[in-house]
Structure 1
Amino acid sequence: MSVTTQLVTSEDAELILKRSIDSNISVRNYTLEDYSDEKIGLLANHYRLKIEVNRKKNGDKTNEEFSYFLKAMPFDCPRLLNYILEIMAFEKEIAFFSKIAPRLMEDHGGPAWCPRCYLVKESALCFEDLGLQGFKMQGPLFDELHVKATLKAIASLHASSIKVEAKLGRSLKDIYPDNFEEMIFIREKRTLDWITSGLALAGTLAERMGLDGSRLPEAFEMLFKSIVPSKIKINAVNHADLWCNNILFDEKLQCRLVDFQSFRYCPPASDIAHFLYLCAPNELRKSKEEDLLMHYHENLLEFLGPTFSSKAPSIAELRQSYAEQKIAGCIGAVLHFPTILLKGSLANEIMGDLDTFERFYFYDRKDAVMENMKRDPVYKERIETVVSELVEMSLVLEELPVPC
C-alpha cells in the first residue's frame, strides 16, 4: 500500500472536496508530496495533498487541481511513532479538531485563529493550505507588530472559548475531561526526562555565568502549579505551545495559530506569558508589558461583544494573572530555547538522526548547547537571558504571586 492510499482514501478525497469546495465535482486523481524539503515539525509528517477533479463550468467540463495541507502519523519512523502514541499528541489534536474546535467556532464573531480542518482521521488531519494563501512563519523573534497580531489571534481563541461556555453554562473541560489531560509539563515517562534534562542544563549555565542556581529546582515546581484551571479566575482553552513555528502571518498581518497537540484549560494569561517569553524580544516584553496586556484585553472584549464582554476577566485580573504566570513562561523558554533556536548544520545533525535527537532532547543536551553557544551569539544571548531571569525569580520565590 502506498503512503498516499494508506493515509487518504478516495472516499476521504471526495469528502475533503465536498467540505471545502462543493459536491458537484468528481475526483480524477490525488497525490501526496512532502510539504517542505525541511522538517517543519517534530511530532508528525507533513504533506501537500493535491486533488485533481473534473468540474463543470458554464456547461463545459474542465480539469482543476486543489491543494491541502495534510498532517499525518509518522509510520515511516516506528520509534517516533511510539513516542507520539505514548504522549497521545496526535490523539489530542484529533480531539481538538473533532470536538473542541467545532464548539469554539459556533457563532464566533471574532477573526479566524486557526486553519479550516476538512478531515479528521486516527492517522491524519487535512487542513486548508495556508501557505498558498500567503501565510508563513515569521522567524524566532517577532517585532511589535507581529507580537500584537499574535495577541489578537490569541484573544480571538480565548473569546470563542469564553463565549461558548457562557452559552453552554458549563466548562469545556467538564464536557470533555479526558481531552484536556496535560501533555507537555507532566512528571511522567520521557516527558519528565525532558524537563529534568532542561533543569540540569539551566543549573550548569547558571554556574558558568556565576549565578546562584541553587533554587532552580524549587522554581521549576511553580511550573506545575501554573497549568491547572484557576478556582477563582476566568479560564479558557489555551493553545499552550505558542512558539514561532506554530504562528503564521500573511502580508496583511492576519495571524493563524497551528498545531493544537498541547492545548490546555487554564487562565488566558498562561498563553500570553508563554508566547511573550518564547517570541517577543526581551526589551519589548518588559518595556511594553502594560501596552501588550491592554491590546490583548481590548481585542478580547471586542470579540466577545456586548452580550458576553461581562464574562471576560477584568484588566486587573489579567494583570494579576500575568504576574502569576511569568515564571512559568520563563521556565518554558528555558526548556524550549535550546531546541527551537537551533539552526544550521547542528540543527540538521540533531534533528536528522533519531538517536542523536533522543539523546539531546531527553537526556543530555549540555555539550551540544555549549558548542552551539560558541558558534551562535544570538542563541547564546537568548538562552542566557532567560536563565538569568529565572535565577533572579528563584531567589525571591516567596515574594512571587502564586497561581490560584
Structure 2
Amino acid sequence: MKKFEGPLVPLSDCYKAISSRLKTPNFEVLTYEQLPFSEINGYLGEHCTLKATIKRTPVPETLSFFIKSPPRVPSQLNFLHEINGIFKETNFFKKYLPLLKTHGITLLDDALPVCYHVTDGTFFFQDLSPLGFRTLPSRAPLSLNHVKAALATFAKLHASALILEEVKSFRLPETFGVELKESFYVGADSTERAMKSCKQGIKALIDITHQDDFGISKDAFKEKALEGCDLQAVFATPSQRFRNTICHGDVWTKNFLFRGVEECCIVDFQTYRYGPPAQDVVAFLYLVTDRGFREKRLGEVLEFYYGELRGHFREYDVGEVVTRQEFFESCDYFKRFALTQTLTHLQVVILRNDIAEELFEESTNSLGMCARGTKFLCKGT
C-alpha cells in the first residue's frame, strides 16, 4: 500500500480523538497508521484515513477516522491562512454546532460527519466510508436523485441558522463576527492571484468554445464574463434585501458524500459565510448539473428545496421565516453569480486527477493554474 506522505498525527492526539468518540479514557492504543487516499478529494488540505487498533476489552478492536490536515505546499497553506479557512472550520465545529445543541436544534446531526477532535488545524472526523458514503466524480453531472439528496442537506444547514436566529431573537453576526465574513473576495494576495488566473482561464475557455451562433461576439462575451467575476464580491456579501443564513460557499461535487441516491452529508467548512440560502442553492445547481437538466428540472428542484426548508420551519414552529416568493426572487437574483462562479470553478472541477495534482503542486501560485489547466483541456485531456 502507498505510504502516506502528509503530516503524521501524534499519538497524544489519537488518544484525545478516540477518548472523545468512546466517551471514556479507559483504553489502550495498540497500533495506529495513516493511509492515503487513492484520489484527490480537495485542494486545501491533506486527507487520509487513520486506523487505530485499541484494547478496552479482552478483544482488540479497530477504529477509523477521516483526518484533514493543513496542506503541505507552502503556497496552498498561505492561501488557506489568507482566507481564514482553519479558523472558520474550527469555529464551525467547536462553536456553532454546540450552540445549536444548546437550543435543541438537531437538524445537522445526520447531515455532517462528527468532529471528534481539532488541534492546530488538524481535524479528526467520523469516517463515513464504512457506512457506505462515497464522493462522486466531479467531471460528470449529478443525477436528479443525487441533486435532491444534496438540496435536502442544504435545507438542513440553512434552516439550522435561521431557526437559531428565531429562537434566540438575534442575528448570527452579533455572536459570530469574523467567522461569518466572506474571506475569498477580500483582495488578499493569494486570492487576487487565483482570481487573475481564473480570468485567464475563462478567456481561454471562451476562445476554444465560442461559436458564431452564440448571439454575442467573443470579445463582448469575455467582457461580460469578467465583469461577472468582479461582481462576485458583491453577491457574496450579506444581503440587505433577502434573509441571510449560514451558507456553505464551496458547493462543488467533492464536498458531498452520498450513500445511495437518498442520503447525503456535506463536508468542508473553510469558506462558509452569511448570505441568502439561494446563494448556495443556485450556485450548486449551475455547477453540478448541465443545461439540459436545468431546462427540464430547475423549477422542480427549487420547489423541492423550498419544501424541505419550509418543513423544517414547521417542525420547529418558527413561522415562514423565508417565504416562497422571497426564495424564488433571490434565486433569480443569484443566477448571474452562479453563472460566473461556475466559469471560475469549472476549470478545476473538470480536470483529471493527475493533471490537477501537477497544477496544484506548483509552489508559485496557490490556486492560480487555471489557464494552464485550460491548455491541458485543449489538448484533449
TM-score for the superposition, normalised by structure 2: 0.87
- Is 1:54 aligned to 2:51, yes or no? no
Partner of 1:66: 63
CA RMSD of aligned residues (A): 2.5
**Contact (CA 8 Å) 1:243, 1:279: kept in 2 or not?**
yes
Amino acid in the other structure paired with 2:198:
G
Q: How does 1:47-196 map to 2 (within 5 A)?
A: 47-56=48-57, 61-74=58-71, 76-105=72-101, 106-110=103-107, 112-140=110-138, 141-196=141-196
Partner of 1:39: 40
Partner SS state of residue 251, structure 2: coil
Q: Is the deviation greater in 294-303 or in 44-53?
A: 44-53
**Contact (CA 8 Å) 1:46, 1:71: kept in 2 or not?**
yes
Partner of 1:392: none
Picking from 271, 274, 286, the partner of 1:262 is 271
Q: How does 1:2-401 map to 2 (within 5 A)?
A: 7-10=9-12, 12-23=13-24, 25-56=26-57, 61-74=58-71, 76-105=72-101, 106-110=103-107, 112-140=110-138, 141-207=141-207, 209=210, 210-211=217-218, 212-213=220-221, 214-251=223-260, 253-343=262-352, 345-351=354-360, 353-355=361-363, 358=365, 361-362=367-368, 365-376=370-381
1:344–1:190 Cα change, 3 Å: closer
Amino acid in the other structure paired with 1:64:
E
Q: Counterparts of 2:204 and 2:357 in 1: how far apart (Å)? A: 25
**Contact (CA 8 Å) 2:15, 2:29: kept in 1 or not?**
no
Partner of 1:384: none
C-alpha deviation, 1:155, in angstroms: 0.2
Q: Is the deviation greater in 316-325 or in 39-48?
A: 39-48
C-alpha deviation, 1:290, in angstroms: 1.6
Amino acid in the other structure paired with 1:137:
T
**Contact (CA 8 Å) 2:347, 2:373: kept in 1 or not?**
no
Q: Counterparts of 2:256 and 2:68 in 1: how far apart (Å)? A: 16
**Same amino acid, percent of matched pairs:** 24
Bigger relative CO (Cα 8 Å, ≥ 6 apart): 2
Q: Counterparts of 1:5 and 1:282 in 2: how far apart (Å)? A: 41
1:368–1:15 Cα change, 3 Å: closer
Partner of 2:214: none
The number of residue pairs the alignment matches comes to 365
Partner SS state of residue 321, structure 1: helix
Q: Which one has the bigger helix percentage?
A: 1
Provide structure 2 residue ranges, at least 5 long, that are not aligned to the other structure: 211-216
**Contact (CA 8 Å) 2:201, 2:372: kept in 1 or not?**
no
Amino acid in the other structure paired with 1:241:
D
**Contact (CA 8 Å) 1:30, 1:49: kept in 2 or not?**
no
Q: Is the deviation greater in 27-36 or in 246-255?
A: 27-36
Q: Counterparts of 1:216 and 1:157 in 2: how far apart (Å)? A: 30
Provide structure 1 residue ranges, at least 5 long, that are not aligned to the other structure: 377-404
C-alpha deviation, 1:49, in angstroms: 1.8
